[in-house]
Amino acid sequence: MSHDPPSNMPSSDTPEPIPPPHSPSEDDMESGEDRHMKVGMKMVGSAMVFIGFIQVFMSASTGAEITTFPMILYFTGLALWAYSSIDKQITRYAVMAASIVCALAFFHFGEVLFWHKYVIYWGTIIMVVYFMFQTPKPQP
């Protein structure tokens, strides 16, 4: 007597059923326009930070006085850059809030003291070093 498998049981030589495609995640649904906007904001924010930092750096190294405009430019650029570059929402919005508060404080008080320049200088160096050594997440 032979022992044949029942007909309703799949045999080992039949292919496995194809699983349904995964539902698109939030990252997959990000449109090309959104990515282009983030790249543009990252470029503009980086340029604003660079221009503001160069003026602060030159003023700190020569001892010259500067107006509040480079500081406002620096912190506005930092807020734009943080919005488009930082992935963790808590960190992103913390950097943005701190940048906006600092820009408004310089706008309100209307002067830049010597120690302000050095805080900006060393804070920028620390921030650049921190983000330089972050490993980027793989893109799908």
The contacts of residue 115 (CB under 8 Å, 6+ apart) are none
Alpha carbons 54 and 120: distance in angstroms, whole number: 11
pLDDT at 78: 92
**pLDDT more than 90, % of the chain:** 31
DSSP label at residue 17 = P
- With respect to residue 69, please indicate whether it lies within any of the assigned structural domains: yes
Q: Domain range holding 120?
A: 38-132
Name the pTM for this structure. Answer: 0.70
Residue range 65-83: mean pLDDT, rounded: 91
pLDDT at 93: 94
- Lookup: tokens for 126: 């620390």
- With respect to residue 17, please indicate whether it lies within any of the assigned structural domains: no
Residue range 23-34: mean pLDDT, rounded: 62
The contacts of residue 20 (CB under 8 Å, 6+ apart) are none
Number of domains into which the chain is organized: 1
pLDDT at 131: 77
- With respect to residue 5, please indicate whether it lies within any of the assigned structural domains: no
Alpha carbons 51 and 58: distance in angstroms, whole number: 11
| For residue 134, pLDDT beyond 80 | no
Contact 99, 82 (CB under 8 A): yes
